[in-house]
Homo-oligomer: A and B are copies of this chain.
Amino acid sequence: MDQATRARYEARARIMKAMAHPARLLMVDELARSGERCVCELTELVGSDMSTVSRHLSLLKNAGLVEDEKRGQMVFYRLRVQCIMNFFECIESVIACNARSQQELLT
């Protein structure tokens, strides 16, 4: 496999990885619904230390999934790409499929 192809999959994986965490997924979901949220609101939502949430956010930003804007002393984050929400539907179908298989194992 050539170098360019390999690089493409690494880039894709970086973006997937940025979302592959419950707290980050939760925040992405919240931003998709609400449009934008400041760090303090997201901190309350997630329930971890603000420094932890801030790190999660900078990771998302680094991946290009969100953008931030400082207004006053607060920093607001919002989604940069809308299509992300399409993921959830598919993920849910995987979960549902897994649940069905679990059921079958019990019978």
Contacts and interface: CB of A to CB of B under 8 A. Distances in A.
Interface of A: 1, 6, 9-13, 15-17, 19-26, 29, 45, 47, 63-65, 80-81, 83-84, 86-95, 97-98, 101
Given A6-B22, A12-B88, A20-B16, A81 B95 contact: no
A62 to B, nearest CB: 10
Contact of A95 (B6, B11, B92, B93): B11
A64 B90 CA distance: 12
17 contacts: A1-B26, A1-B45, A9-B23, A9-B26, A10-B22, A11-B95, A12-B22, A12-B92, A13-B20, A15-B94, A16-B16, A16-B19, A17-B17, A17-B21, A65-B94, A83-B90, A84-B90
